[in-house]
Amino acid sequence: MTCSSSRRSFLVGATLAPYVWAWPAVARAVADGVGDRPLVCLFLRGAADGLSLVVPHGEPDYYRERPGIAILPPGKTGGAIDLDGRFGFHPRLAPLKPLFDSGLLAVVHAVGSPHPTRSHFEAQDYMETAQVGLSSTSGWLARCVAERAALGLGELQAVALTDTPPLALRGTPTLVAARLAQLQLAARPRARQQLEMGFERMYDRSSTEVGIIGSRALATARRIRELSLGDDRARSGVDYPKPTAALRELASLIRAGLGFDLGWVDVQGWDTHQNQGNAEAGRLPVLLDAWSRGLAAFWADLGEWRERVLVLVMTEFGRTVKENGSGGTDHGHASVMFLLGAGVRGGKVYGNWPGLQPNQRWEGRDLAVTTDFREVFAEVATKHLGVASLAGVLPGYLPGPALGLLA
């Protein structure tokens, strides 16, 4: 994807006069191509248990090893929702089943990292940089869009509705906010105007990292207020479960046509060492219930953007095949990924199933990785983000035969 000269000159204009921002120009930028096919990532932090999300209900070892927390086979009360005779969704993923059936949603199973670590932090870093042992490097998604013109939400290529900036986006201009409502300075109107102008004047003069981010924050706050994106007026009428408000806000930013390439939402709480639960009670069903309904709402909310948005759901690794001593599971190896979008060849569970018998497991205990997560990243980078060469994006990765997840 190349960038047109009109957009470049627009960018220069924006840099020279940051407060005189013309919204019609943004719409033009979108029409030109950058930011018109956003990738939205949901990172399930803490290692989501792929074996409970997408249940291998034909595996006797699954039920043998998990007497307290297994999801029962389809047809039983609280049983899995069958997908293809071998695998089934956790019953709390029911809101996603219509998307699977209509061919928009694909599952990749036994997918994971070529790195053997069972450390959350190491595995997340690796998955976000797609590089081993270079902890201060740039994010893989930042490298995907590095060639493009920086545009959209005021020199932004990415929006992360998270507490902290995701490593995957490090190296690309990103708006980071836990909630859009936090992007404003509250005070009495007269004082606010004076204060805001004073801060803008000060931060626009600063060339430090803090100065640049502060300046971007003030400019973004202004625009979000002008567009009323942070308040109820931006709501579309689609209902989201409360914990998934970030998805609602992301949908409102996409619908406003701000023209960013990457959206990111963190979902915490998947480290289910205890009280993981099965179909109804426990930590996992509660999380799955909110986030599957949230994701279905997000999809409905996108409207005509459904043609252009791709959603990628990932987690750093999976969990032990065997239930532990406290009704939970410990750190394992392979897990699942989901892709949702118009270009997805959905309605299918991808990957080679390694089996769950002890001799089929990785180190005798975990679901083995048969699909390197970089195979999924590679398809997303080339087919959705328009990356021509993977050498810089996924260094050291030798592409195998493509899974064919995306059309």
Partner 1 sequence: MSNHRAVVTIYIACWFVGCAVPNSVPMSQVASPPRPEGTAIAPALAHDVSAARHLLNRFAFGPRPGESETVAAAGIELWLDAQLGSEPRPNPELESALWPYLGAALEPRQLVDSWLGRGTLDEPWKGPEINRRIRPYFRQHLAELGLLQITRHVLSERQLEEVMVEFWVNHFNVFAPKGLVRVLVGDYIEGALRPRALGRFEDLLIATARHPAMLIYLDNAASSSEMPTWENGGPMGRGRHAKQRRKTGGLNENYARELLELHTLGRDGGYTQQDVIGAARILTGWGVSRRARAGEQPLGFVFRARRHDSGAKQVLGEHFPEGHAEDEGLRLLGLLARHPATAKHLARKLCAHFVADDPPSGCLLATERAFVASGGELRAVLLALVRDETFWATSARGAKLKTPLEFAVSALRAVGAKPDGTTELARAVRRLGEPLFEESVPVGYLDSSSAWLAESGMLARMQFATSLALRALPGVSPDAAAVLPAGDVPDLLQLGNRRILGQTASAGTLDAIQASLASLTDEADRPALAGAWFLGSPEFQQQ
Phi and psi for 371 in degrees, rounded to 5? -125, 120
Rounded Cα distance, 272 and 21, in Å: 46
Q: Does 222 bind partner 1 (CB under 8 A)?
A: no
DSSP secondary structure string, 306-342?
GGT-EEEEEES--BBSS--TTSS--B-S-EEEEEEET
Q: Does 324 bind partner 1 (CB under 8 A)?
A: yes
Nearer to partner 1 by Cβ, of 74 and 214: the residue is: 214
Min. distance of Cβ 285 from partner 1 in angstroms? 17
Nearer to partner 1 by Cβ, of 12 and 187: the residue is: 187
Q: Quick one: CA dihedral 387, 391, 393, 399, positive or negative?
A: positive
According to DSSP, the β-strands at 174-176 and 81-82 are: unpaired
Nearer to partner 1 by Cβ, of 95 and 277: the residue is: 277
Q: Does 16 bind partner 1 (CB under 8 A)?
A: no
Tokens of 124: 């997340």
The arrangement of strands across the sheet holding 87-89 comes to 54-56, 87-89, 81-82
Q: Which of 12, 22, 31, 197 binds partner 1 (CB under 8 A)?
A: 197
Nearer to partner 1 by Cβ, of 184 and 292: the residue is: 184
Rg of the chain over Cα atoms, rounded to whole angstroms, equals 22
Q: Does 223 bind partner 1 (CB under 8 A)?
A: no
Angle between helices 23-32 and 5-16 (to 10 degrees): 150
Q: Which of 32, 330, 372, 379 binds partner 1 (CB under 8 A)?
A: 330
Binding string, 118-147, against partner 1, x = CB under 8 A? xxxxx-------------x-----------
Residues numbered 331 to 390 that lie near partner 1 (CB under 8 A) are 331, 363
Tokens of 191: 């004082």
Residues that bind partner 1 (CB under 8 A): 45-46, 67-68, 118-122, 136, 163-165, 170, 175-179, 182-187, 191, 194-195, 197-199, 201-203, 205-206, 208-211, 213-214, 216-218, 220-221, 268-269, 271, 273-274, 323-328, 330-331, 363
